[in-house]
Amino acid sequence: MGIYIFVSILVIIACFLQILIVLVQNSKGGGLAANFTSAGQSMGIRKTADFLEKSTWTLAGAILILCVVATATIPRGTTSGRSRIENQIQNAVDPNAIPTLPTAVPPSTTTPPGSLDQPAK
């Protein structure tokens, strides 16, 4: 269960970073790259846009892989090897069986007749 929680937290962090990177980008190619217009920058406009695009695709792939790993590590309860339906079939009562009804015990031959009808004193 610990690895599932760890992978789930990684998925949430990767999704949060993906949201931030997409929000920084501009659909017309501006965004964060528009702030680096000076010629002396080591990361120019094109390099920033390339970095943001590569990080978007990398995080998307990481989220996909982490989701598959999280699915594979979902904690499952221990099962007894037999299904619940099979257990119910094994424990079922035969509907065609003759029901056993309680029967009255015949009076014993040692007690005198009529003694059972008298109230106890």
- pLDDT confidence of residue 40: 46
Residues in Cβ contact with 56 at an 8 Å cutoff, skipping those fewer than 6 apart: 18, 21, 22, 25
Q: Helix (H) and strand (E) counts for the chain?
A: 3, 0
Q: 3-state DSSP call for residue 58?
A: helix
What CA–CA distance (Å, rounded) separates 118 from 111? 12
Task: Split the chain (121 residues) into runs of 10 and give each run's mean pLDDT.
Answer: 89 94 75 53 64 90 94 78 78 75 71 57 54
